[in-house]
Amino acid sequence: MHATRPRGRPKQRSDAEERQRIIALACEFFLDVGYGGTTMDGVAARCGISKKTLYRLFPAKTDLFRAMVADNRRTMLALPRPPEDLPLAQALAAIFRLDIEEPDNNERLAFIRLAMADSDRYPEIAEAITLEGAEPALRLLTTWMTHQQERGALRPFPPQTAARMLMDMVFGVLVKRFPGDDLLTREDRFAHARHCIDVFLHGLAPPAPLD
C-alpha cells in the first residue's frame, strides 16, 4: 500500500499479478499449439484483456514466451536424487516421474514436446528452452549414471551416451503421437516407459550380478 495513491484510475490488479495471470493462460496456449501457433490476439482474448494491456506488460511475443519458460522452470526430470537403496528400476521410474498424476504430467509432456518441436524453428527461443530443460536434465541423468557405475550397479559405459539413449527412449514415446500409434493412454505410455527402463537396465547390468 502506498501512503498516497497515485492520481488516476487505479490498476485493477498489480502489474506483477496480472503478468502472472497472463503467463498462466499463455502457457496453455504455448503448450497446446506451440510458439508459432500462439497468437497475441488469441492470448489477449483468452485473458480478457486488450492487446494494448498485453503489450504494456510484455513488449513482444518472445518476452511473453521467455517469461513463460522461466516461470515454468519445472524440469523434465525429478531433481531430488532418490534414496540410494532403491532398486534401479524404481529409481529411474522416480527420476522420470512415472508416478505423477495426469494434469501435472500433461503439462510436463506438453513442455517437452514444445522443446522438441519448436527449438529448431525458432532459434530465438531454442536456447531458452534447451538451457532450462533438456540440458540440465541430461546432465542430471549423466551424473546418476556415473554414480551407479562407480557403485558397480551398472557395467562401465559412456555415461552420457547411456543417459541420452534412455531419455530418447522414454521421452520419445511419452511425447510423440503418430496417427497410427496405439500408445494412446497414459497407462500405455507409462508401461512403455517402464519397458524401456527394463531393457535399458538389463542391457547395462554388470557382467557378474552382485545382488
Q: Which residues bind a second copy (CB under 8 A)?
A: 34, 36-37, 113, 116-117, 119-121, 126-127, 130-131, 134-135, 138, 157-158, 160-162, 164-165, 167-169, 172-173, 176, 178-180, 182-183, 192, 195-196, 198-205
Range 135-194, binding DNA (CB under 7 A): none
Q: Are 119 and 129 in contact (CB under 8 A)?
A: yes
Smallest gap from residue 126 Cβ to a second copy (A): 7
Among residues 107, 97, 132, the alpha carbon closest in space to that of 31 is found at 107
Q: Are 108 and 74 in contact (CB under 8 A)?
A: yes
Q: Which does 185 bind (CB under 5 to 8 A by kind): DNA, a second copy, none?
A: none
**151 to 58, 89, 156, 166, 209: CA distances (angstroms):** 49, 15, 11, 19, 13
Q: Does 49 bind DNA (CB under 7 A)?
A: yes
Q: Which does 55 bind (CB under 5 to 8 A by kind): a second copy, DNA, none?
A: DNA
Q: Are 58 and 64 in contact (CB under 8 A)?
A: yes
Range 54-113, binding DNA (CB under 7 A): 55-56, 59-62
Q: Does 2 bind DNA (CB under 7 A)?
A: no
Q: Binding DNA by CB under 7 A: which of 1, 2, 3, 48?
A: 48
CA atoms 54, 59, 61, 65: torsion sign:
negative
Q: Are 203 and 166 in contact (CB under 8 A)?
A: no
Q: Does 13 bind DNA (CB under 7 A)?
A: yes
